[in-house]
Amino acid sequence: MPSVLIDIWDWVEDHAAAIIALCALFLTIYQARLTRRHNRLSVRPLLTSYTGEVSSSNAQITFSLTNSGLGPALIDAFEVTLDGAPVNIRATEQLNGTLAQLLGRPPKSFSVGHLGPSSTLRKDETRELFNIQFPVLTPAEFEALSGRLNRIRLVVKYHSLYNEPYVFDSGA
């Protein structure tokens, strides 16, 4: 064997413990990064929406928000807009007028839920945000009405337990 190879082999034998320790250190760091990433993903919230429509003598449209993720969604902000202008959903008279203007007629009845700052949506929790009932409508009227509701936009800013920010935007 050439003397250079013998010198290298001798060096490796002399430092084998240090080489093994360095390999173990790098593998531990890699494993810790994977575990951290997994932990963040295991508590990530994911807000999704559902619109239910019933066209009958008691026509109604409902809009619900569900946390389909694996962890709770901690709400930071909740905003409803109509054609880009903010709507105060807590002011019942204003909301009734806005709905009448949007729909071309006042609703038979409506209920509104909201998410305030510091609200939480647990994993698999669903909250009904809007339930609008209408007087008797023809199928064509109902379809036109349903299309006009697309002008309403809901934006929810929320974060995970790790303070990672997310945004749900019904108009996106």
Q: What is the pLDDT of residue 1?
A: 60
- Domain positions in the chain are 3-42, 47-169
Q: What is the pLDDT of residue 28?
A: 92
CA gap 75, 157 in Å, rounded: 6
pLDDT in tens, 103-126: 777 888 888 888 888 899 999 999
> What is the model's pTM?
0.75
Position 82 confidence tier, pLDDT thresholds 50, 70, 90: confident
CA gap 38, 138 in Å, rounded: 51
Tokens for 38, please give them.
């997994």
